[in-house]
Copies of this chain bind each other. A is one copy, B any other.
Amino acid sequence: MIIQLKDNLSETEKLAIKKKITELGYQSTEVKTQKKNYLICIGKNEVDIRMFGQLKGVADVHRVNEDYKLVSRKWKVSDTTIDLGDGIKINNGAKTIMAGPCSVESEDQIRDMVSVLKKNGVGIIRGGVFKPRSSPYSFQGHGLEALKRFHAVARETGMKIITEVMQVSQVEQMYPYVDIFQVGARNSQNFNLLSVLGEVDKPVLIKRGISGSIDELLQSAEYVFSSGNERLILCERGIRTYEKAYRNTLDLNAVPILKEKTHLPVIVDPSHGIGIRRFVEPMSLAAIAAGADGLMLEIHREPENALSDGFQSLNFEEFEALVNKVKLLYSLL
């Protein structure tokens, strides 16, 4: 059960509500987001929620049986739109494309990329500077300095940046240079990181875990939301199965199911989702056809020379052709 509190609620009123909750055998957690105040109530008894609707200080009450509450569409029926400023929005009707290199390599690379993105009407650039790698001896990204240069070019050209944050201590460092914090698949259940990102006033994109369930993804989002940050984006990026013919099994079933379960935008990353460059286009179109709100794509001016993930990055011509097909497809559906 979610009880949304009135903005002008008095302490006395709040205490009365909490007393009632306890009497009914529920435990409550107070959640104060950047927008509103809630009491999330967990319990096993059946309760007629109308008895809360009449209490002073209560704005609204919803029954949500799932383990996730505030991210549930049972609580908020209308789609959540993420406004990044400068007219760039996610889940606002049109499909959002986020594209860029796996790793930020050089300023030159970024400038080249930005001109391609702008030409194709794409306002969000992705690019990693902290790269989670299975081996300690693999390239780990160019770090904060690269992010600063990345950001300088982006600001100059009006682009928004999404980049991966790997640990709590990076959040503050990265904050001035980031428009969307990305939580990678390996950190999808790094609950401390999620909680800290809940205290940040910038949007967060959470990737599904390597073998994360759909419910776990929603609960990870609930960590961020219940810590205060309502501006969340979910991302399907493929799961781990027995099949060896590709990198990951892109789970497009997750798209309509997530869209029904949550009010948050759902983005698909077909680059990781299949991991083979020439198949990124069909899987991108499939994702849009399945109802995804957008795509996250790896692109590179010379994929064969990329420092990481070149085998799954589109070159600029492939990217442009794909964007055009996505627009056409979207106009149709």
In this complex, the member of A42, A214, A223, A256 whose beta carbon has the largest number of chain B beta carbons within 10 angstroms is A256
Residues of A participating in the B interface, judged by any CB pair closer than 8 Å: 27, 29, 40, 42, 67-69, 132-137, 166-169, 186-187, 189-193, 195, 209-211, 213-216, 219-220, 222-223, 226-227, 239-246, 249-257, 260, 273-274, 276, 278-279, 282-283, 285-291, 325, 328-329, 332-333
**Do A253 and B240 touch across chains, with their CB atoms under 8 A apart?**
no
Q: A136-B223, A223-B136, A239-B243 are in contact. Are A190 and B187 (CB under 8 A)?
A: yes
B residues in contact with A243, CB < 8 Å: 213-214, 239, 251, 253-254
Taking the nearest CB of chain B, how far is it from the CB of A220, in angstroms?
Answer: 8
Copies of this protein, total: 4
A-B CB contact pairs (8 Å), 27 listed: A42-B137, A132-B189, A134-B189, A134-B215, A135-B219, A136-B227, A167-B167, A167-B190, A168-B168, A213-B243, A241-B242, A241-B251, A245-B257, A246-B257, A250-B253, A252-B286, A256-B279, A257-B276, A260-B278, A282-B290, A282-B291, A283-B290, A285-B290, A286-B290, A289-B289, A328-B332, A329-B332
B residues in contact with A133, CB < 8 Å: 191
**Do B211 and A211 touch across chains, with their CB atoms under 8 A apart?**
yes
B residues in contact with A255, CB < 8 Å: 282, 286
Residue from the list B40, B134, B186 in contact with A190, Cβ < 8 A: B186
Cα-based distance from A308 to B286 in the complex (angstroms): 29
**Do A256 and B242 touch across chains, with their CB atoms under 8 A apart?**
no
Residue from the list B69, B134, B192, B246 in contact with A167, Cβ < 8 A: B192
Additional 18 contacts, C-beta under 8 A, given A215-B245, A243-B254, A246-B253: A67-B135, A67-B137, A68-B135, A69-B137, A133-B191, A167-B167, A167-B192, A213-B244, A214-B245, A239-B243, A239-B249, A241-B242, A246-B257, A250-B253, A252-B286, A253-B279, A282-B290, A286-B290
Cα-based distance from A135 to B285 in the complex (angstroms): 33
**Do A333 and B285 touch across chains, with their CB atoms under 8 A apart?**
yes
